[in-house]
Amino acid sequence: MFSQTWQVGLDIQDHSIRALAAQRRRNGWQLRHWWQQALPFPALRAGHLESSAMLVTVLKQWRSRLPRHISLRIALPAQRVLQQTLPLPDLRLQEPVRHDYITTQGLKQFPLDSQTLAMDYRQVQPNTHQLLLTAARQQELQQWLQCLQLADLHPQVIDITPNALCMMAAFAGLAPDAGLLHRLESEWLWVAPRAMPFAYGVLPAGEAVGVKQVLAALRSACPAMGAKEVYYSSVLDEAAPEGTMPWSPFTTFSRLYPPLPAQPMAFVLAGGLALRREDA
């Protein structure tokens, strides 16, 4: 039996919000809901959440359209998190000792007071002997949670935007050896091919940094890509730049209900969050 609970991905950006809800069915994924709202005020500044009564009001209005019980997933902006690697601990260590060891040793890898950080971890690749550590500042994480709670929103999953993009690419069946480039309102987000070690970068969008510079940064960070293609998505109404291939997250769904958004690729982050599994 498949769960009746809607899996809801919520993507908050500088001046817009997008959400997508899905349910797993026997014949594939079913799209249950999508929503987008332009904001006349900044919700994010350099990735930092600007919580306000106006933002809470918008989120409350959206919450009223959803079922009472949902599985909500959000993503922290890439530029607000820290990442390090840690050797996989001795396999003889059992839980909860293993978790305590990883947490203690992992927090030492970051240049900030461990008391100010919230940390998560996962294996870099199934066949590697390294863990990828992801840390966020406790204060910033609490700002997100408090803002959402005021709108009666309680996330079951807190991820990061690069992982959401990577997840959506996997569900859409994109080639695992292709890079990913996503245009946000104020930044470029690139993610390494899924077949390679997890890596990403964020570059400010503007006259000084164009798509050629971002593609060069991606290929420089992932030399094993060679001349492999790069898949492109954007929150802007624009054509895919030369040297990239556009894609839509909505090809993943076996059941769709019109009307659909005019810019499907703008929902790649919300889609990746909605479709990912809950953390164990």
Q: Which two tokens stand for residue 186?
A: 């104020």
Averaged pLDDT for residues 213-241: 93
Averaged pLDDT for residues 191-202: 92
Residue 29 or 119, more confident = 29
**Per-residue model confidence (pLDDT) at position 127:** 66
- Which H or E run contains 63? helix 53-63
pLDDT(1) > 70: no
Averaged pLDDT for residues 26-43: 94
- 107: in domain: yes
Residues 23 and 154 in one domain: yes
E strand segments, 167-219: 179-183, 187-191, 200-204
Residues 25 and 93 in one domain: no
- 153: in domain: yes
Percentage above 90 pLDDT, the chain:
66
Residue 254 CA to residue 26 CA, distance in Å, equals: 10
Give the range among 57-61, 119-123, 141-145 with minimum mean pLDDT: 119-123
pLDDT(280) > 60: no
Eight-state DSSP code of residue 153: -
| pLDDT confidence bin for 156, thresholds 50/70/90 | very high
**Per-residue model confidence (pLDDT) at position 254:** 93
**Per-residue model confidence (pLDDT) at position 125:** 67
Residue 3 or 207, more confident = 3
Under DSSP, is residue 68 helix (H, G, I), strand (E, B) or coil? coil
Averaged pLDDT for residues 151-168: 96
Residues 143 and 118 in one domain: no
Mean pLDDT over the full length of the chain: 92
Q: Which two tokens stand for residue 125?
A: 């690749």
Averaged pLDDT for residues 75-102: 89
**Per-residue model confidence (pLDDT) at position 114:** 78
Name the residue among 132, 233, 249 with its Cα closest to residue 179.
233
Residues in the chain: 280
Eight-state DSSP code of residue 235: S
Residues 158 and 124 in one domain: no
Contact 140, 116 (CB under 8 A): no
**Into how many domains does the chain fold?**
3
14: domain CATH number is 3.30.420.40
Averaged pLDDT for residues 3-23: 95
Residues 75 and 149 in one domain: yes
In DSSP terms, 120 is beta-bridged to: 134
Residues 149 and 69 in one domain: yes
**Per-residue model confidence (pLDDT) at position 13:** 96
As a whole number of Å, the end-to-end CA separation of the chain is: 19
Rounding to the nearest 10 degrees, give the CA dihedral for residues 245, 159, 185, 241.
-10
Contact 10, 157 (CB under 8 A): no
Dihedral sign of CA atoms 158, 162, 192, 248 in order: positive
**Per-residue model confidence (pLDDT) at position 226:** 85
Residues 190 and 243 in one domain: yes
pLDDT(123) > 90: no
pLDDT(76) > 70: yes
> pTM (2 decimals)?
0.93
Residues 17 and 52 in one domain: yes
219: domain CATH number is 3.30.420
Residues 187 and 237 in one domain: yes
Eight-state DSSP code of residue 280: -
DSSP code string of 159-222: EEHHHHHHHHHHHTT--TTSEEEEE-SSEEEEE--TTS---EEEEE-SSSS-HHHHHHHHHHH-
